[in-house]
Structure 1
């Protein structure tokens, strides 16, 4: 990420390279018109990646998105400050998109009520890309995933159906179909979690146990099974996956109904090495009501329960603080990521 010093900008180059990547997307889009060198810098793929990395790991404003509880076609941008949420603004999503399916690197996957018309939308840049699921209704989708293959600069949508999975490449603007994983009955698949260019799902309560499935383009575009932590009995336990600071984490009920264990996987799609990150103790409701939406706010963790109640957990003191979540609807709630990425860019 190198840019020549522009004579019209009276700032040292070192300061520009430190400050500019921390700016919001709205400012960056405006600053592209400052000069040719600024436009070149902000459009540089290395700058776009660097800006996203800062946005994902800092989120200094503690901003979150959710489907607006009362207005169809809108998302709410909400901010967490102190111990309460407040609505910052409403974001109008693309026409006819009423279902939230997945998100990755600041890009959301949405659909209409039929799940046939799909849209990728970056709420930071307001860019959209529309396409359709082309297969027969008998191939009714069971789950979705969205990931960003940064090696080729392509966003891909994965749709898992009963007897196959379908992959849409935004770069090629085409669908391909793959056989589903053999010997694993697809009974109940949760939403896909994207981490470092790979999508992971939990296949719950199949005939031979709970599995973690993953999809990686470097592995011939096929679903594979990821091994769970060794020497840990997860039989009959509900597990969920989350992305925590760009790492894949697994949550499960620990020893007793009031403990929740969180495991973190080492980097690499096929790497099945897990380490125990923490145990959330003294859960104030049954651990089975635990919903794995966690987000660091300073040195504390924001947690949402399945009944949509939010609390802040202090890992050092092992205490909970109640949160005023009256502005939340409890649906489609996830951290907001500022991003310049979009599929129709040459990333």
Structure 2
């Protein structure tokens, strides 16, 4: 067999960038030069770009909160489930857990966000984040959390936004407040972010999601309106949903733009995808297309690209659906009946060492 040493470094770089993450972890042991290439930030970014273009657009990470099948699974349509091993005891999270995904990394947080990890399920490496400065004792009454996770390409930094929705009481009146914190991986610390007073009455659904899109904005779902957080100027804004019926989805990432599914029509049978255009205070909704009217579903959870959705039918559970094949009147494919949370997932060698 010819020696691999005759290949120049650039060719080795290109070949390695095409390989799956699990293969890369093995090949780091081949020789020092391969280990050096695979560990470089430039290689990690190149591999991530290739992964986004190669990986099927409908891979998701789902959470089964309890029972015999409790755990984390990677689900891909037409393939077997892959169960993942958590880096920490599962009892630390239980049924209530915040999960976000970005570039193959996943955040794991308990309901109070008192314990928060960044985890790479494929490399199995993780980082325990320092404790937040905001805890349960900051509020007299109920409080809930929202978590947003993204990569800031400007500062080359992974960041996490934590929003705490709580209440104070003076004996006669209740005052709703929102407190925000921003975590930076590079700084390894939390920084408080100002939330304008006029937004403190914002009503959040306890099961709502945060979505980060390519415009550099993080969106937070609300009951009657929603918040945006500009990742660069760190400003919060308040926006309205499309005025066209009932919302039937979580916030969706539609090719880098925010989108929602709305139900309208005289008999309430028309499902339409609406995309948010513009940035800052100058935004508007545009109707993109209708979904098969006879589709039985209660909620769209994710848009996975190429007309693929992850949806929920309360009678059977979650299912993948390909809207591009409208002649298929039985859209149920790989059905998994239980799972509290699901996020889109793309494997990456990010954090090939502890950070």
Report the TM-score, using the length of structure 1 for normalisation: 0.78
2: CA distance between counterparts of 1:338 and 1:29?
A: 13
Q: 1:181 to 1:106 in 2, by over 3 A?
A: farther
In the alignment, what sits opposite 2:213? 195
- How far residue 123 of structure 1 moved from its aligned partner, in angstroms, is 0.6
1: CA distance between counterparts of 2:54 and 2:287?
A: 23
SS in structure 2 of the partner of residue 291 of structure 1 = strand
- How far residue 280 of structure 1 moved from its aligned partner, in angstroms, is 0.5
Greater Cα offset, 146-155 or 302-311? 302-311
In the alignment, what sits opposite 1:26? 22
Q: 1:278 to 1:12 in 2, by over 3 A?
A: farther
**Does structure 2 retain, via aligned residues, the 8 Å contact 1:249–1:263?**
yes
1: CA distance between counterparts of 2:57 and 2:250?
A: 27
SS in structure 2 of the partner of residue 276 of structure 1 = strand
Q: 1:120 to 1:234 in 2, by over 3 A?
A: same
- How far residue 13 of structure 1 moved from its aligned partner, in angstroms, is 6.5
**Does structure 2 retain, via aligned residues, the 8 Å contact 1:94–1:121?**
no
Q: Does 1:153 align with 2:156?
A: yes
Unaligned runs of 5+ in 2: 166-176
Q: CA RMSD in A?
A: 3.4
Q: Does 1:87 align with 2:81?
A: yes
Unaligned runs of 5+ in 1: 1-6
- How far residue 216 of structure 1 moved from its aligned partner, in angstroms, is 2.8
Q: Does 1:43 align with 2:39?
A: yes
In the alignment, what sits opposite 1:242? 252
- How far residue 311 of structure 1 moved from its aligned partner, in angstroms, is 4.7
Q: 2:49 aligns with which of 34, 49, 53?
A: 53
5 Å-filtered alignment, 1:1-347, equals 8-11=4-7, 16-60=12-56, 62-68=58-64, 69-70=66-67, 74-81=71-78, 86-95=80-89, 96-98=92-94, 99-112=97-110, 114-130=112-128, 131-137=130-136, 138-139=138-139, 140-162=143-165, 163=177, 164-184=179-199, 185-189=201-205, 190-196=208-214, 198-205=217-224, 210-211=225-226, 213-219=227-233, 221-225=234-238, 233-234=243-244, 237=247, 240-256=250-266, 257-265=268-276, 272=283, 275-285=286-296, 289-296=298-305, 300-305=307-312, 307=314, 308-315=317-324, 317=326, 319-342=328-351
Report the TM-score, using the length of structure 2 for normalisation: 0.76
**Does structure 1 retain, via aligned residues, the 8 Å contact 2:104–2:350?**
yes
SS in structure 1 of the partner of residue 341 of structure 2 = coil
- How far residue 237 of structure 1 moved from its aligned partner, in angstroms, is 4.8
**Does structure 2 retain, via aligned residues, the 8 Å contact 1:247–1:264?**
yes
1:241-299: per-residue Cα shift (whole Å, max 9, x none)?
A: 1124444323222435222221334687787365433211314337xx23232324xx5
Q: 1:342 to 1:328 in 2, by over 3 A?
A: farther
2: CA distance between counterparts of 1:14 and 1:172?
A: 32
2: CA distance between counterparts of 1:227 and 1:343?
A: 41
Q: 1:32 to 1:275 in 2, by over 3 A?
A: farther
